[in-house]
């Protein structure tokens, strides 16, 4: 089945550090990937839609200069949390859909295992 690999799985760093999270589709191509954030006991909130070869589309309230997204190839999207602060501590999850299957509504999204970010 379709596999999405997310790395790292856990990051602990000091306030002010920038952290990069990678999301790779291992056995399919994804022109679009999605980045979600989940706070404890909350649902997954869509942060941005990452588009291969073009700028990401950010959801309302998400700072594009703080959460930098790069989707340079059909299998890799990266999210960089710049100058992270304790309030950025959260569970970050990426997902992707197989582009070769078309963007039909009934195609499921495949999720990475998530990255738990803790900012001290």
The site for other proteins (CB under 8 A) is made up of 6, 32, 34, 36, 42-46, 49, 51, 91, 93, 95, 103, 105-106, 108-109, 111-114, 116
N-to-C CA span, the chain: 37
CB of 115 to other proteins, least distance (A): 10
Residues forming beta bridges with residue 61, ordered by sequence position: none
Q: Nearest approach, Cβ of 83 to other proteins (angstroms)?
A: 26
């Amino acid at each position: 089945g379709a596999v999405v690999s997310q790395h790292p799985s856990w990051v602990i760093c000091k306030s002010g550090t920038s952290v990069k999270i990678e999301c790779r589709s291992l056995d399919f191509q994804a022109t679009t990937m999605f980045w979600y954030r989940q706070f404890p006991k909350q649902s997954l909130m869509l942060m941005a839609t990452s588009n291969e070869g073009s700028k990401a589309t950010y959801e309302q309230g998400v700072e594009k200069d703080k959460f930098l997204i790069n989707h340079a190839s059909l299998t890799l999207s990266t999210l960089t949390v710049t100058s992270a602060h304790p309030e950025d501590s959260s569970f970050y999850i990426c997902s992707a859909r197989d582009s070769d299957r078309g963007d039909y509504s009934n195609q499921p999204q495949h999720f990475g295992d998530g990255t738990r970010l803790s900012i001290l």
